[in-house]
C-alpha cells in the first residue's frame, strides 16, 4: 500500500496529469474521443451514438478543435453539400493507448464476469495484447518495480 503523504510531489498546476485532466477529463469529451477513435467524424453520428445534447456536443467539438485534438475539415459526398467533419489529429490519436489501457481496466474491474466485447491483438502474431511499462528498448518492467523520479 502506498505510504501516506500530505501533499503530492508535484502541485496540480505543474502536473501534466492534472493538465491533461483539465483538457479532456470530462464525461462527454471522453465519450466523444472514444467514438472518434472508432472512426466517427460527423456531428449527427456522435449525437445519435452518444445521445449528447446537441448544444453540448457543439461546444465540446469546438473545444476539442481549439485544443488540437480534432481537426475540422470539410467533406463532400456526390450530390450533397459540403459539411464539416471532425477527424483526430496526431495529438488526439496519441490518446489511443491511454484509452485502450482504460478499456482494459474496465474489462477487469467493471465487467469481469463476461468476456470483453472488444480486445486487441498483434496483427502479425495474432497474440492478444495488453498495456505495460517497458524500457526504451522494449523490455517489460513490472509495475511494482516502478520508481517515481522528481526532476530537481
Partner DNA sequence: ATGCATGAGTTCGTCTTCCAAATCCAGCCT
Partner DNA sequence: AGGCTGGATTTGGAAGACGAACTCATGCAT
What's the min distance (Å) between Cβ of 53 and a second copy?
A: 15
What part of residues 10-29 is at the interface with DNA (CB under 7 A)? 26, 28
* DSSP code at position 144: G
Cell of 105: 481496466
Selected binder of DNA within 37, 56, 99, 102 (CB under 7 A): 56
**Window contacting DNA (CB under 7 A); options: 31-39, 80-88, 95-103, 130-138:** 80-88
Q: 94-99 long-range contacts, Cβ below 8 Å, gap at least 24?
A: 95/24, 95/33, 95/37, 95/69, 96/37, 97/131, 99/30, 99/33, 99/34, 99/37
* 42 interacts with DNA by CB under 7 A: yes
Measured between alpha carbons, how far is 55 from 61 in angstroms, rounded to an integer? Answer: 10
Q: Which does 53 bind (CB under 5 to 8 A by kind): DNA, a second copy, none?
A: DNA
19, 83, 91, 96: which one binds DNA (CB under 7 A): 83
Amino acid at each position: 500500500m502506498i505510504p501516506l503523504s500530505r501533499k503530492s510531489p508535484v502541485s496540480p498546476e505543474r502536473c501534466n496529469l492534472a493538465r491533461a485532466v483539465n483538457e479532456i477529463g470530462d464525461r462527454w469529451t471522453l465519450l466523444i474521443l472514444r467514438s472518434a477513435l472508432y472512426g466517427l467524424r460527423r456531428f449527427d453520428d456522435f449525437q445519435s451514438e452518444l445521445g449528447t445534447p446537441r448544444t453540448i456536443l457543439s461546444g465540446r467539438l469546438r473545444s476539442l478543435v481549439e485544443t488540437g485534438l480534432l481537426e475540422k475539415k470539410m467533406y463532400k459526398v456526390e450530390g450533397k453539400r459540403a459539411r464539416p467533419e471532425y477527424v483526430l489529429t496526431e495529438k488526439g490519436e496519441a490518446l489511443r493507448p491511454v484509452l485502450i489501457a482504460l478499456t482494459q481496466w474496465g474489462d477487469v474491474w467493471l465487467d469481469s464476469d463476461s468476456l470483453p466485447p472488444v480486445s486487441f491483438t498483434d496483427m502479425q502474431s495474432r497474440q492478444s495484447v495488453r498495456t505495460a511499462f517497458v524500457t526504451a528498448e522494449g523490455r517489460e518492467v513490472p509495475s511494482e518495480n516502478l520508481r517515481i523520479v522528481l526532476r530537481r
